[in-house]
Amino acid sequence: MTETLPVQKPTLFALPTSFVSLRNSQLPRHGAPLYVTTPIYYVNDVPHIGHAYTTIAADVIARFWRFLGWPTRFLTGVDEHGAKVAHSAKAKNIPPQSYVDEMAKVFKALVQALDATPDDFIRTTDHRHHQAAQALWKALEVKGQVYLGTYAGWYAVRDEAFYTDAEIQEGKAPTGAPVEWVEEPCYFFKLSAWQDALLTHYKNNPEAIGPKERYNETLRFIESGLKDLAISRTKLSWGISVPTHVGHVMYVWMDALTNYITALGYPDTEQEYYKKFWPNSVHLVGKDILRFHTVYWPAFLMAAGLEPPARVFAHGWWTKEGQKMSKSLGNVLDPFALIQHYGSDALRYFLLREIRFGQDGDISEQALVKRCNQELGNTLGNLAQRILAFIHQYHPEGVQGTAHTPLDPQHEALQTWGRRTVVYLKTCIEQEDLYGYIDLLQTAVQQVNGYVTEFEPWKLRSLPEKTSYLSQGLYSLCMFLRDTALLFSIVLPQAMGKLLKQMGEEIEGAQGSVHRLGAQLLPGPWPKPEPLFTRWEPLV
């Protein structure tokens, strides 16, 4: 996936100049496999809105690739090792394994509540992951990339990260996390030896990190000079044992990052999933863990003789009404409560629509209610109800396509809109521009709402000489509505599944559904339409 200049937006009735013929618009050709991942989430506490955000974004990208019928693998999961997980288990006075078993169930429940569709859910306590992480360690050791030393420095349990004296500000890590002084024997990875290789890789592949400011941030960090990285602990027992050195536990980030290849069958690099999907990967991460994914992870891989990931995209942080969310402030948003009250579609839509993916944003329930009522209820829901309710009342047998050629230009634009627009939507997904994807669809829906007012079907039905024109227009509007439902289903699976059923179609079996765009509608009669959305009110 690459970053390019923003694409020209296709308006509904003014086609992009790249399309010569309305009828012969080309669907995207068969594409490369895509492996999209979330970070594996720490289970030291219950899920928060940030976990939901990344999961939703990854799900939308995976759903679109499947919609095109292209090979897709979507991975999420949980990180169950490290000091802060051990501390959380101790605070509850239960064994770490019992603690992570219960927390993994909660994170799986969030995935389900969000209507996310991962192909795999990985846990770092899985046997397969222990094997993969230890295999990576052995590969690094065989290649002379690991040596024994002593670590003396600052460590932040909250970040599970080591920091230099220069990075400590007022006794805290740059992230604001408290730090503690640690002295212990450990094994080091020769990170400094990979400084030039990393710089060369990123300068030759500027699309490997997005957005652009995160790319620049990574290069500045590498150019400032890399120091060897401590990759084992002896004062911690909750983790994966170093396979060749008794008493040492693998540094939690080396353990955690390996999950991306564990899930593809590593260390068996001839396994089907590994050969197909690595390194065709897009790691979606929060910007706070950028360094681990764009410096440590590719260095580990290159040192072991493996290819680095194709792309890492770091999104921003959410605040609530201008304040950082924290338990101490009592303003943490519970994604389960939001889903229970507003529904998963509303949360999915708001988080991807409120800001561009990659930027920081602010969330409030008032903003969620306003945006969803205006854009989903009053715009998208209104359009569907206007069209389908009219057809149910005056054409209960359904609407039929007409054989007249050429079609009215506006009706032809409606019928071919989906096939033309999917090319632009593909570019949005390739750039992780999820806001742009929604904006393209919403712009068209707004335009068609305006067109229905101009078309005035309620007047045309009383004019016998306009019968054919009315039938053609209603059929074209329904084709637009069906194609909108297909394209919007990756963001709004619940509501768009409902809309498709009201048109006699199904959302199930979305793999390769791109070929349904522009296809003839199923004959009626269709079920009586019901509103797609109810009016939202704030939870509090």
CB 488 within 8 A of CB 496: yes
What is the rounded distance in angstroms from the CA atom of residue 527 to the CA atom of residue 529?
6
What is the rounded distance in angstroms from the CA atom of residue 293 to the CA atom of residue 291?
5
- pLDDT at 402 > cutoff 70: no
pTM of the entire predicted model: 0.92
Q: What pLDDT is stored for residue 375 in this prediction? A: 97
456: its two tokens: 């005035």
pLDDT in tens, 32-91: 899 999 999 999 999 999 999 999 999 999 999 999 999 999 999 999 999 889 999 999
pLDDT in tens, 369-395: 999 999 999 999 999 999 999 999 988
Phi/psi for 360 (5° steps) reads -75, 155
- pLDDT at 217 > cutoff 60: yes
Listed in sequence order, the DSSP H helices in 92-159 are 96-113, 127-142
In Å, how far are 73, 161, 216 from 164, measured between CA atoms? 38, 10, 21
- Strands 249-250 and 311-315 come out as unpaired
Q: How many CB atoms lie within 10 A of CB 112?
A: 10
Q: What pLDDT is stored for residue 182 in this prediction? A: 82
Walk me through the domains of the chain, giving residue ranges and CATH numbers: 1-28+364-540 (1.10.730.10), 34-315 (3.40.50.620)
Lowest mean pLDDT across 101-105, 173-177, 216-220, 281-285: 173-177
